Structure 1
């Protein structure tokens, strides 16, 4: 799915961030930290900015909204949602959609809810092979919906797997993944 291009700016993202309702105290602090970072940093979308940088992620639900497609990230060796670097782009929703399409091999993805779904700030360990020091990712996440269950493993993943939302908490997964599963189930009950 291709989003209609427009001149989306850092100020537009700040407006979208101001509308996010935090789920818990961790997310409240991460929303505040991300807004402060966006306001003070002149280059928040550049992956070579090791003061930190904004990334975009997609939490990809199955068509029946009961499962999420996760990637076993090759570099981090963890089960995660899809996502990646903005590479200078301020339209983080487009970044999340692009990264999800690339990493899942899917092109039949649509945005499930229009606004920001989740915000998480987390540390990325240093990577001497790439010459990257430890830094922060200010990850802005969107809720996406797949139209079929097919997928294709990319070079960035060890594996992909559909995981029922109700079973995600039993996995050795990041707390923010568990939070997104709870949020997704709550939204699904509304729709």
Structure 2
């Protein structure tokens, strides 16, 4: 997926969630910035995530993010790579050790723009996160990366309790639980 295809996917992206729909113009506008895929854009930049689920759609793989101290989906910075699908798959492999990862649909699964707090090296900024639906086998061993404190397959029935009021994760959970997501 190159920048041209990402623009096409974003332009044609449809969602029933108003908060997500309202973000689409910001994502499209960011594409015009030559450093949109780089951390050098201090106001905010593209990131990519993998919403990893098991084949039966009963569990999702979450990581306890070391810096943010929150349970989140796996993903990370584009670091100049305009192929966000590739970024999401690479981050999923690096952060989990899984080799059974399989893209469910090449189209965008979810969008979220969220604020990242300032730290010792970076000012407060936005992540424009493009998310993809990925399947993996639950019986494969997990490898915790240095970016994580823990990894866990979490049952859909326990996800809301673990992530608290993280609206974007609850939205992805709702999307996954809908009947139109094919097994």
Q: CA deviation at 1:189?
A: 5.3
Give the unaligned 5+ runs of structure 1.
1-7
Distance 1:9 1:146 in 2: 25
Contact 1:31 1:120 in 2 (8 A): no
Q: TM-score, normalised by structure 2?
A: 0.93
Does the alignment pair 1:118 with 2:113? no
Distance 1:168 1:21, change over 3 A: same
How many residues are aligned here?
181
Distance 1:138 1:148 in 2: 29
Of 155, 162, 177, the match for 2:169: 177
Distance 2:2 2:136 in 1: 27
Deviations 1:132-163 (A, max 9, x none): 11111000000000024331111110111111
Contact 2:138 2:153 in 1 (8 A): no
Q: TM-score, normalised by structure 1?
A: 0.89
> After TM superposition, which residue ranges in structure 1, 4 or more long, deviate above 4 angstroms?
none
Deviations 1:42-101 (A, max 9, x none): 210011211211000000001322100000000110000000011111110010000011
What is aligned with 1:139?
129
Of 68, 74, 82, the match for 1:76: 68
What is aligned with 1:155?
146
Q: Superposition RMSD on alpha carbons, in Å? A: 1.5
Which shifted more, 79-88 or 181-190? 181-190
Give the unaligned 5+ runs of structure 2.
none
Q: Secondary structure at the match of 1:14?
A: helix
